[in-house]
Structure 1
Amino acid sequence: MGALDFMKIASRNKRRTFLLVLSLILILYFIGRFLDYTFSGGGFYTLLALAIALFQSLISYYVGDKIVLASVRAREPNLSDYEERQFVNVVQELSIAAGIPTPKCYIIDDPSPNAFATGRDPKHASVCATTGLLKLLNREELEGVIGHELSHIKNRDILTMTMVAVLVGAIVIIADLLRFQLYFGGARRRRDREGGGELIALLILFLIVIFASIIGRLMALAISRAREYMADAGSVAITRNPLALASALEKIANYSRPMQVSDAVSHLFISDPKKRGLSEKDSLWANLWSTHPPIRKRIAILKQMAGLSA
């Protein structure tokens, strides 16, 4: 794999993200249509679920970054500290290289090495790193990690994941409304010339209740994993140093103690803060339920970008 193959990887993952988002939209549409048809809702259930999900997502979109930073007890960097000052300098330098405004910088006092970016767009963004990351990595490795986070900002990944949250949230809300109708309201009987139509509809609705939110969640996780690959490729585009990021990921993965953070923010970090080690499970089932791709696979791809064997 050549050194410029990050462009192919980014293009492939953009297509994958588009197809997954389109699939979520189609799932939501058909669930809503079927629910309204069964209960003679006339579009009410679909519109109600979308309205609730949209309201929740708007709150998350405009103040979500502040909520996230507060939840991890992030603070502003101490510029008299060498490592924290170097972190700020790297963010400033790479922001120029990436062609985006310099995001705000924050520090988490945690020995576990990790970092994340948050914010709704490049003009309203923040990059946060742990003290453990700043102590563990050299400057080139830190540049690889910061390049990854700036790529998330440049690609507006927060916007993408907010849109996904709207769709998945709407699917879950529709499933809850459906469950409520089944248990308390009951389906409005519809005439069926051949008979048995209502029973078939109820069976299909039961399957929707079980699988709708699961499918939506799996698709959201798949999109999250695709965005991580894109951010790795984006870091290479900014720094032109895939081996630095590969080395950083290896050091991060080999740190034995996980972070104590909420599951709600785990997907934001460059490495899953709840998992550690290059020996993490790489089974299909484990990957399906993971917010991040296997770190070993990410390192292998980065080494291939540099023209080395995995």
Structure 2
Amino acid sequence: MFKRIALFLATNLAIILVISFILSLFNVQPYLTQYGLNYQSLLIYALIIGFTGSFISLFISKWMAIHAFNIQLIDRPANSAESWLVAEVRKLANQRNIGMPDVGIYQSPEPNAFATGWNKNKALVAVSTGLLQTMNQEEMEGVLGHEISHVANGDMVTLTLIQGVVNTFVIFFARIAAFFVTQFFRRDSDEQAQDGFVYYGVAILFELLFGILATMIVMWFSRYREFRADAGSARYVGKDKMIKALQRLQQLMDKTPEDDRAPAFNAMKISGHNRWLALFSSHPPLEKRIAALEKRN
């Protein structure tokens, strides 16, 4: 846990330093002046802030995942299970015409797998020990087909672009809204220092509000890409194998009381039935994913 917190803090510090450098490099002028808002400077500022963090996170996502989860990359398979895992990923990568991803295993009792990386030809596919212990090879094929589909579809890059766009709009419109609100309630034109302090406080509140709405957009795409990755897996490894993998996950969830589930399991966002909370879920409910696959020819 301490290692993950340290990596998180280091990443955010790096983002702040890079943003400061870019703002200085492009000589971005202050967007809030004594004459009002400079919309051109504000837009440039919002673009730099909105996209820089997203792209830095994308470019270091593979390195971050390896260190945060202590993933052991498989350079030389040590047993038959690792040999099968590497061979299956290689087969799926060849089918989708992408470079062979790095393959790794990390210690976790939760049945989980993920793919990451900024380039679909230099990606990482990682599986948990819990997944290896609870699924048979057919179910594993469905899971791996799903992750390789994410890589082949370029989902990591697309999600980064969407995140950058919504970040830009959130920052841009929050600062505009804050300006007009503070101007409307302004009492004394001489209170410049106080006005500036109040303005940035109101801007933060608007960013939080608009950020909630923006998160709904990002999570909608995240759910859409899960359906698309399921369909890709069904196409290349077989619909039945993908359905079996999802059904197995459902069985494991049903056997685990909700209060006893580890945070990593809850993070999969696959058990919620509250319609409002579902808008902020990165994964659709398993029942809907299974139903969508069953409708496929």
Q: Is the 8 A contact 2:139 2:245 kept in 1?
A: yes
Partner residue in 2 for 1:296: 287
Aligned positions of 1:223-262 closer than 5 A: 223-239=221-237, 241-255=238-252, 256=256, 258-261=261-264
In structure 2, what is the equivalent of residue 70 of structure 1? Answer: 67
Shift of 1:132: 1.0
Q: CA deviation at 1:180?
A: 6.6
Counterpart secondary structure, 1:128? strand
SS in structure 1 opposite 2:230? helix
Q: Tell me which residue corresponds to 1:42.
A: 39
Q: Return the offset for 1:290.
A: 0.7
- Following superposition, the deviation at residue 87 of structure 1 comes to 1.3
Deviations 1:36-83 (A, max 9, x none): 9x9431322121011122222231222122112322221113722332
Q: CA shift at 1:214, angstroms?
A: 1.9
| 1:215 CA drift (Å) | 1.7
Is the 8 Å Cα contact of residues 73 and 108 (structure 1) preserved in structure 2?
A: yes
TM-aligned CA distance change 1:171 to 1:140, over 3 Å: same
Counterpart AA for 2:285: P
Distance 1:88 1:209, change over 3 A: closer
Give the alignment partner of residue 132 of structure 1, picking from 130, 139, 142: 130
Offset, 1:148: 0.5
Residues 168-247 of structure 1 mapped to structure 2, 5 A cutoff: 168-174=166-172, 177-178=175-176, 181=179, 186=183, 211-239=209-237, 241-247=238-244
C-alpha distance in 1 between matches for 2:268 and 2:61: 24
Q: Does the 8 Å CA contact 2:46/2:172 hold for their aligned counterparts? A: yes
| Structure 1 counterpart of 2:101 | 103
Q: What per-residue deviation string (whole Å, max 9, x for no partner) do you get for residues 128-187 of structure 1? A: 10011112111111111111111101110001111012122223433664577579x757
Normalized against structure 1, the TM-score is what?
Answer: 0.69
Contact 2:269-2:283 within 8 A present in 1 as well: no
Structure 2 residue identity aligned to 1:233: A
% same residue: 29
Report what 1:282 is aligned to: 273
1:221–1:290 Cα contact (<8 Å) kept: yes
- Distance in 2 (CA, whole Å) between partners of 1:127 and 1:206 is 37
Distance 1:120 1:281 in 2: 30
- After superposition, the CA RMSD in angstroms is 3.2
Alpha-carbon separation, structure 2, partners of 1:289 and 1:57: 19
TM-score normalised to structure 2 length: 0.72
Gaps of at least 5 residues in structure 1 are 1-34, 190-201, 262-271
Aligned residues: 244
Structure 1 residues 177 and 64: CA distance shift in structure 2, 3 A: farther
Q: Which residue of 2 aligns with 1:16?
A: none
Relative contact order, higher structure (CA 8 A, sep 6+): 1
- Secondary structure in 1 matching 2:116: strand
- Give the aligned partner of residue 159 of structure 1: 157
* Closer, same or farther: CA 206–95 of 1 in aligned 2, 3 Å: closer
Cα separation, partners in 2 of 1:301 and 1:180, compared to 1, 3 Å:
closer
Runs of 4+ in structure 1 over 6 Å off: none
Q: Which amino acid aligns with 2:267?
A: K
| Structure 2 counterpart of 1:79 | 77
